[in-house]
Structure 1
Amino acid sequence: MRLVQLANGNLRSVAMVEEPHLVLLNEVTSIYQLAQRALAQKMNLTKLAQSLATGDTISYDDVYARNSPMTLLVPIDVPGAPQMTLVSGTGLTHLGSARERQAMHAETMKKSDAEMTDSMRMFEWGREKGRPCAEEIGIAPEWFYKGDGSILRGPFAPLNVPGYAEDGGEEAEMAAIYVVDSAGEPHRIGFCIGNEFSDHVFERKNYLNLAGSKLRVCSLGPELVIDEKFDDVPGRVRILRKDAVLWEKKICTGEKNMCHSLANLEHHHFKFEGHRQPGMVHVHFLGADALSFGEGIRLSEGDVTEVSFERFGRSLINKIVIDKPITSPVGVKAMV
């Protein structure tokens, strides 16, 4: 079951993907509304979506090619209330990312690759204790905050490098999507393709800059996949510059390629009471296998990022936009 969110002017809709078509769902205008209805009715989300998929059928090719009045939105949000979405992630979950972080932080701290950084130590702890047996609690992963729902961008939307940033770089990942019910219990809706986009130049200066480097826009979509397994998921990421491939790499995600189990990541995210507020949506990035910055690529104005993972729908495509540098400080007025 794959779902998309669409807009036609101010009108929103949800559609089920039946390649090469989209079938509109009646009675709901957002996936959040669909999920809330499933919780209230104690109904299987897939069955509910199928029962509502009785609307018009439109061409997915036309929508995806932007030859339709319908445009693709980010596949999860809380309409009119971006503060009801928490965007976060876990790093050092994939071996490839751990190696690149080790090299980045070893350079910063003037250590050799043979000398273990804090990043590699944390990764090794994950390999040792990140996949606990059922009913046991494993070691906590690295965790970071990205922002609220206002930072989410959909397919073909620009990824802006803000004027205060030193860089912007893609991080091709999968994101898990959750909603918290009225009793404070989290439920996983599904997964979608994501580009976790962050400032690696700023982070490389000092690993304590990691928190600030993550406060950037990011993208999701086009599709939210409800019932697909997150086991072994091959994919591909590439950067295009002036319509030519600048960099390309095969990537892998899924639990078989990670040092933490999904259940362990979920426990350590939702163990915090503040993450179990009724009605909240959580978008949680699950870590990257590779990034172009680790191979010396610096993204420029107009570059295009393309991320795809098998079984998770069409590619997520975004263009890089560099904002004008900020040349004066942000002022704060005293309430006197």
Structure 2
Amino acid sequence: MVHLVQIDNGLSRRVAMVDEPYLRCLNDVRSIYQLAQSCLQSGERLSDLALALAQGETLDYDAVYTGTSEWRLLAPIDVPEQPSRLTIAGTGLTHLGSAKDRQAMHLANTGRDAEIAEKPSAAVTDSMRMFQWGVERGRPAPGEIGIAPEWFYKGNGAMLRGPFEPLTVPAYAEDGGEEAEIAGIYIIGGNGMPYRIGMTIGNEFSDHQFEKRNYLNLAGSKLRICSIGPELVIGADFEVVEGSVQIKRGAETIWSKEIETGEANMCHSLANLEHHHFKFEGHRQPGDVHVHFFGAHSLSFGDGITLRDGDWMEIHFDGFGRALRNPLRTESKDTYRLVQASSLA
């Protein structure tokens, strides 16, 4: 497997291959997007081209990662100067742990305690029904089409943050919490078909308190910034992926959990998730990039944790390189202002 990062020093940017404990810069490449475009045009394998070009300057990865270098880590994919050409989306209810959390969240405010006590089947929410459909029909035989998973949109490239950048709870939001996931990175070729560039660690940051109020708020709860990185893994093994997530408050770890993802831990196959995202013509525009989150195993919110300003979220998955770390920032409610459209009539 080849691991790539994008770095910037304020004057220039580069792509580098991870060769622990070093970064080996690729010659004449400013972005992974550029590298992927070259492969689409030449037919060359991305890993082969990256290895061939990794003959540039060698950097100390520890210094870059800890912030003592002039170089800083960027998100490992973007569309330079055209962030609107990058779509961020994802699929939920793909992991058993997340289904249990969602079931509990959506039952919390139903006001149906008596009905549920008398008839337990009444406790099955729409979320749990959709999860059960995934268990039954989310892993179709090769060449067949399975059932559609839950799908959500998060925004375009303007909403993407790199490692160590703050994830902000907006003034209008009710909450903000981590979702530790793997994200697939795709580019659309000139033939209108998707190509998977690789996979990376992701924090699909969401407003769980807003969603808990009513499950129809799911769409709005997902329209938040998120983070991926630091490393984009080319040719990653996605069968069984073990990891861990931690929430740190000062010197104290206030919550941590061992997590699992990968196809063996999901009710939907990767092929089924990809089909149902890219079946839409609007998701197959040549030159566009897609960051697609595959779902979370567990959330700190599900264990009653409320994140505060200054907390750090840290996510690690075996085989995906160094941990993704981001601090949480909370905007003051005093900054919330009415957004009013002006007329051009």
**TM-score of the superposition, structure 1-length normalised?**
0.99
Match of 1:329 among 313, 332, 338: 338
**In structure 1, C-alpha distance between the alignment counterparts of 2:330 and 2:238, rounded to whole Å:** 34
Deviations 1:116-171 (A, max 9, x none): 00000000000000000001000000000000000000000000001110000000
Aligned to 1:121: 129
1:1-336 map, 5 Å: 1-111=2-112, 112=116, 115-325=123-333, 326-336=335-345
For each residue in 1:230-269, what CA deviation from the matched residue of structure 2 results, as whole angstroms up to 9, or x when unmatched?
0100000000001210000000000000000000000000
- Report Cα offsets for 1:185-204 as digits up to 9, x if no partner: 10000100000000000000
Q: How many residues align?
A: 336
Report the Cα offset of residue 110 of structure 1: 3.0
Q: CA separation in 2, counterparts of 1:13 and 1:83?
A: 21
Say which SS state the counterpart of residue 197 (structure 2) adopts: strand
Aligned equivalents of 2:52, 2:127: Cα separation in 1: 47
Q: TM-score, normalised by structure 2?
A: 0.96
Cα displacement (A) at 1:328:
3.2
Q: Cα RMSD between the aligned structures?
A: 0.9
Other structure's SS at 1:237 match: strand
Provide the rounded CA distance (Å) in 2 between the counterparts of 1:43 and 1:63.
30
- Distance of 1:126 and 1:144 partners within structure 2: 16
* Structure 1 gaps, min length 5: none
Give the Cα separation in 2 of the matches to 1:166 and 1:96: 23
In 1, the alpha carbon distance for the partners of 2:240 and 2:131 equals 20
Per-residue CA deviations over 1:251-294 (Å, capped at 9, x if unaligned) read: 00000000000000000000000000000000000000000000
The residue matched to 1:90 in structure 2 has which SS?
Answer: strand
Give the Å deviation of 1:334.
Answer: 1.1
Query: What percent identity do the matched residue pairs reach?
Result: 60
| Pairwise CA distance, 1:10 | 2.7
2:207 counterpart letter in structure 1: D
Take 2:195 and 2:34, find their aligned partners in 1: how far apart are those partners?
14
SS in 2 for 1:265: helix
Say which SS state the counterpart of residue 98 (structure 1) adopts. Answer: helix
